[in-house]
Structure 1
Amino acid sequence: NMNCKNRLFGKEFFDEYSDKSFQIKESYKWMNLASQNVSKIFSQDKKDKIIHKLISTMKRQNKHAFVNILLKTFIELEQKDPKLVKHLNNYIFNNIVQNEEIWQNYALAMIVGLL
């Protein structure tokens, strides 16, 4: 006879599971938005110029070079759409700069937007 505290699939299990699915949905939403925004703000010429550099830095797992390439490019584009640049800067700092373990996943969303 098991009491409530020893149940494997108790309320706590499902509360935590629900929270994880919410986190996954939120991550997907922000990754998709970043991908769309990076696609909007860059001209095709600019996309072609930086995509190979960004992929190369990802292959070398050089997060700081990846971030620097984008931030330098955003300085040039800030006049074009300051709100979009601000969103992309926030995405980079919140999901790439502060994320040592899986920053590449968030970086890939931006690369997809450039393709």
Structure 2
Amino acid sequence: MAFDQFIADRIRHTLKNKMISFQEKRMMGGLCFMVNDKMCFGLDTDKSNNAPRLMCRVGPINYEKALENNFASEMDFTGKPMKGYVFVSSEGFESEKDLDFWIQLCLDFNPLAKSSKRNK
């Protein structure tokens, strides 16, 4: 399993408390949470230290502000940062308040996010 099941349960609990309809998909070596058929955020394991981390789709407007957080970094899988996405290390969402902050930031951007094109 490439993600922390306890943290995934915390995320599910938070989304259910907010009455957010969501789907889960295994992708990018982890677990993605889809809202309105769009990737909203995800959970995986940082291969450099085997610690869980969030993958947050915060959008272009909140991107620089999110990177000011000590626990956030550019999301980079290929050597090129993905603008509008950040990784958040586990220390950045230990408390429920911090986890809720990141989830809400992603949920706030979700209505503005474009859906990825699907092959039919």
* Structure with the higher helix share, 1 or 2: 1
Q: Which structure has the greater CA radius of gyration?
A: 1
TM-score (norm: length of structure 1): 0.28
Greater length-normalized contact order (CA 8 Å, ≥ 6 residues apart): 1
TM-score (norm: length of structure 2): 0.27
* Structure with the higher strand share, 1 or 2: 2
